[in-house]
Chains A and B, each alone.
Chain A
Amino acid sequence: MLTARYLRRGLAQLAFVVFGIAVVNFFLLHLAPGDAAQVMAGEAGSATPEYMAALRKQFGLDQPLYIQFFQYLKNVLTFNLGYSFRQGLPVSELLLQRLPATLLLMVTSILFAVSVGSTLGFIAARHAGKAVDTAISTLALLFYATPVFWIGIMFIVVFSVGLDWLPVGGMASIEKGYTGFDHVRDVAHHLVLPAATLGLFYLAIYTRLMRASMLEVYGQDFVRTARAKGVRPRRIAARHVLRNALLPIVTTLGVQMASVLGGAILVETVFSWPGLGRLAFEALFQRDLNLLLGILFCSSIVVVLVNLAVDLLYTVLDPRIELA
Chain B
Amino acid sequence: MAAFTRRLFLAAGSSLALAAALGLPASAAETVAETPKRGGTLTAILQPEPVTLTPANNTAQPTQFVAANIFDGLVTYDFDLKPQPSLATAWEVAPDGLTFTFHLRKGVKWHDGAPFTAADVKWSLENVWKTIHPRNKALFENVTSVDTPDDQTVILHLSKPSLPILAVINGVGAPILPKHLYDGTDILNNPVNNKPVGTGAFVFKEWKKGEYILLERNADYWDEGKPYLDRILFRVIPDAAARAAALEKGEAQYATFNPVPFRDVERLAALPNLKVDTRGYEWLSPLLYLDFNVDNPYFKDVRVRHAVAHALDREAIAKVVWFGFGKPAISPVPSTLRTFHDANVPRYPFDPKKAEELLDAAGFKRGADGVRFSITHDFLPYGDDYKRTGEYIKQALKRVGIEVNIRSQDTAAFIKRVYADRDFDLSSSYNGAFPDPQIGVVRAFWSGWLGTKTPWTNGSGYRNPQVDALIQSAAIEGDQNKRVEIFKRFQETVVGDLPTLPLLELRFFTIHAANLKGIVIQGDQTYGSVKNAWFDDAPKQN
The chain A residues found within 8 Å of chain B, CB to CB, are 32-36, 38-52, 54, 58, 86-89, 94, 97-98, 149, 153, 156-157, 160-161, 164, 167-171, 174-175, 269-272, 274-275, 278-279, 282, 285-287
19 additional contacts, CB 8 Å, given A34-B416, A47-B134?
A: A33-B417, A34-B410, A34-B411, A35-B412, A38-B455, A41-B134, A46-B443, A54-B132, A58-B189, A88-B51, A169-B237, A170-B211, A170-B212, A171-B211, A174-B233, A175-B43, A269-B238, A271-B242, A272-B242
**Closest chain A CB from B189 CB (angstroms):** 7
Which residues on B sit within 8 Å (CB–CB) of A167?
A: 251, 542
Q: Assess A43 versus B211: contact at CB under 8 Å? Given A153-B241, A168-B249, A287-B412.
A: no
**Closest chain B CB from A280 CB (angstroms):** 11
Instruction: Name A169's contact: one of B134, B246, B413 (CB within 8 Å).
Output: B246
The reply to whether A168 and B210 contact each other, CB–CB distance below 8 Å, is no
User: How far, in whole Å, are A171 and B541 apart by their CA atoms in the complex?
Assistant: 17
Contacts A/B (CB < 8 Å), 6 sampled? A34-B412, A35-B412, A48-B138, A153-B242, A175-B233, A285-B411
Q: Does B362 contact A (CB under 8 A)?
A: no
Which residues on B sit within 8 Å (CB–CB) of A49?
A: 452-454
Which residues on B sit within 8 Å (CB–CB) of A87?
A: 51, 209
Q: Does B41 contact A (CB under 8 A)?
A: yes
The reply to whether A161 and B249 contact each other, CB–CB distance below 8 Å, is yes
Q: Does B248 contact A (CB under 8 A)?
A: yes
The reply to whether B416 and A33 contact each other, CB–CB distance below 8 Å, is yes
Which of A34, A157, A269 has the most chain B CB within a 10 Å cutoff? A34
The reply to whether A88 and B193 contact each other, CB–CB distance below 8 Å, is yes
Q: Across the two chains, which residue of chain A brings its CB closest to B59?
A: A44
Instruction: Name B241's contact: one of A86, A270, A278 (CB within 8 Å).
Output: A270
User: How far, in whole Å, are A88 and B431 apart by their CA atoms in the complex?
Assistant: 28
The reply to whether B456 and A272 contact each other, CB–CB distance below 8 Å, is no
**Closest chain A CB from B506 CB (angstroms):** 13
The reply to whether A160 and B60 contact each other, CB–CB distance below 8 Å, is no
User: How far, in whole Å, are A283 and B52 apart by their CA atoms in the complex?
Assistant: 15
Q: Does B374 contact A (CB under 8 A)?
A: no
The reply to whether B413 and A45 contact each other, CB–CB distance below 8 Å, is no
Interface residues of B in 158-179 (CB under 8 A from A): none
Interface residues on chain B, number (Cβ under 8 Å): 64
Q: Across the two chains, which residue of chain A brings its CB closest to B50?
A: A43
The reply to whether B245 and A45 contact each other, CB–CB distance below 8 Å, is no
The reply to whether B248 and A161 contact each other, CB–CB distance below 8 Å, is yes
Q: Assess A161 versus B134: contact at CB under 8 Å? Given A39-B411, A97-B209.
A: no
Q: Across the two chains, which residue of chain A brings its CB closest to B417?
A: A33
User: How far, in whole Å, are A86 and B52 apart by their CA atoms in the complex?
Assistant: 8
Q: List the 8 closest pairs (A to B, CB-CB), nearest first.
A: A34-B412, A274-B210, A46-B135, A34-B416, A33-B413, A274-B211, A43-B60, A49-B452
**Contact flags (1/0) for B233-253 with A, using CB distance below 8 Å?**
101111101100110110100
User: How far, in whole Å, are A40 and B48 apart by their CA atoms in the complex?
Assistant: 12
The reply to whether B412 and A168 contact each other, CB–CB distance below 8 Å, is no
The reply to whether B60 and A45 contact each other, CB–CB distance below 8 Å, is yes
Q: Does B137 contact A (CB under 8 A)?
A: yes
**Contact flags (1/0) for B430-470 with A, using CB distance below 8 Å?**
01100000001001000000001111100000000000000
Q: Does B376 contact A (CB under 8 A)?
A: no
Q: Does B480 contact A (CB under 8 A)?
A: no
The reply to whether A168 and B251 contact each other, CB–CB distance below 8 Å, is yes
| Majority DSSP secondary structure for residues of A touching B | helix
User: How far, in whole Å, are A309 and B209 apart by their CA atoms in the complex?
Assistant: 32
Q: Does B58 contact A (CB under 8 A)?
A: yes
Q: Assess A51 versus B214: contact at CB under 8 Å? Given A35-B412, A88-B194.
A: no
**Contact flags (1/0) for B198-230 with A, using CB distance below 8 Å?**
000000000011111010000000000000000
Instruction: Name A174's contact: one of B58, B212, B409 (CB within 8 Å).
Output: B212
Q: Across the two chains, which residue of chain B brings its CB closest to A39?
A: B412
Q: Assess A40 versus B249: contact at CB under 8 Å? Given A35-B412, A48-B134, A48-B454.
A: no
Instruction: Name A38's contact: one of B138, B210, B420, B431 (CB within 8 Å).
Output: B420
The reply to whether B411 and A42 contact each other, CB–CB distance below 8 Å, is yes
**Closest chain A CB from B508 CB (angstroms):** 13
The reply to whether B416 and A272 contact each other, CB–CB distance below 8 Å, is no
Which residues on A sit within 8 Å (CB–CB) of B61?
A: 45
The reply to whether B455 and A41 contact each other, CB–CB distance below 8 Å, is yes
Which residues on A sit within 8 Å (CB–CB) of B231?
A: 175
The chain B residues found within 8 Å of chain A, CB to CB, are 41, 43, 48-49, 51-52, 57-61, 131-135, 137-138, 188-189, 193-194, 208-212, 214, 231, 233, 235-239, 241-242, 245-246, 248-249, 251, 409-417, 419-420, 431-432, 440, 443, 452-456, 541-542
User: How far, in whole Å, are A41 and B418 apart by their CA atoms in the complex?
Assistant: 14
The reply to whether B238 and A278 contact each other, CB–CB distance below 8 Å, is yes
Q: Across the two chains, which residue of chain B brings its CB closest to A40?
A: B51
Which residues on B sit within 8 Å (CB–CB) of A34?
A: 410-416
Which residues on A sit within 8 Å (CB–CB) of B412?
A: 32-36, 38-39, 42, 285-287
Q: Across the two chains, which residue of chain B brings its CB closest to A284?
A: B410
Which residues on B sit within 8 Å (CB–CB) of A47?
A: 134-135, 454-456
User: How far, in whole Å, are A266 and B138 apart by their CA atoms in the complex?
Assistant: 43
Which residues on A sit within 8 Å (CB–CB) of B210?
A: 97-98, 274-275, 278-279
**Closest chain A CB from B200 CB (angstroms):** 20
Which residues on B sit within 8 Å (CB–CB) of A282?
A: 48-49
User: How far, in whole Å, are A180 and B211 apart by their CA atoms in the complex?
Assistant: 20
Q: Across the two chains, which residue of chain A brings its CB closest to B409?
A: A33
Which residues on B sit within 8 Å (CB–CB) of A89?
A: 194, 209
The reply to whether A38 and B242 contact each other, CB–CB distance below 8 Å, is no
The reply to whether B209 and A160 contact each other, CB–CB distance below 8 Å, is no
Instruction: Name A272's contact: one of B131, B236, B409, B432 (CB within 8 Å).
Output: B236
Which residues on B sit within 8 Å (CB–CB) of A52?
A: 453-454
Which residues on B sit within 8 Å (CB–CB) of A32?
A: 412-413
**Closest chain A CB from B209 CB (angstroms):** 6
Q: Assess A38 versus B456: contact at CB under 8 Å? Given A46-B443, A168-B246.
A: no
Which residues on A sit within 8 Å (CB–CB) of B417?
A: 33
User: How far, in whole Å, are A32 and B248 apart by their CA atoms in the complex?
Assistant: 39
**Closest chain A CB from B128 CB (angstroms):** 12
Which residues on B sit within 8 Å (CB–CB) of A86?
A: 51
The reply to whether A39 and B132 contact each other, CB–CB distance below 8 Å, is no
Which residues on B sit within 8 Å (CB–CB) of A97?
A: 208-210
User: How far, in whole Å, are A33 and B542 apart by their CA atoms in the complex?
Assistant: 45
The reply to whether B454 and A41 contact each other, CB–CB distance below 8 Å, is yes
Q: Across the two chains, which residue of chain A brings its CB closest to B41?
A: A175
Which residues on A sit within 8 Å (CB–CB) of B211?
A: 170-171, 272, 274
User: How far, in whole Å, are A13 and B52 apart by their CA atoms in the complex?
Assistant: 41
The reply to whether B456 and A45 contact each other, CB–CB distance below 8 Å, is yes
Q: Across the two chains, which residue of chain B brings its CB closest to A43?
A: B60
**Closest chain A CB from B162 CB (angstroms):** 16
User: How far, in whole Å, are A41 and B135 apart by their CA atoms in the complex?
Assistant: 10
Q: Across the two chains, which residue of chain A brings its CB closest to B284?
A: A45
Instruction: Name A156's contact: one of B193, B242, B542 (CB within 8 Å).
Output: B242
User: How far, in whole Å, are A270 and B417 apart by their CA atoms in the complex?
Assistant: 30
User: How far, in whole Å, are A128 and B438 apart by their CA atoms in the complex?
Assistant: 76
Q: Across the two chains, which residue of chain B brings its CB closest to A170?
A: B235
The reply to whether A94 and B209 contact each other, CB–CB distance below 8 Å, is yes
User: How far, in whole Å, are A41 and B132 apart by their CA atoms in the complex?
Assistant: 12
The reply to whether B214 and A174 contact each other, CB–CB distance below 8 Å, is yes
Which residues on A sit within 8 Å (CB–CB) of B241?
A: 153, 156, 270
The reply to whether A42 and B43 contact each other, CB–CB distance below 8 Å, is no
**Closest chain A CB from B407 CB (angstroms):** 12
User: How far, in whole Å, are A273 and B134 apart by their CA atoms in the complex?
Assistant: 32
**Closest chain B CB from A34 CB (angstroms):** 3
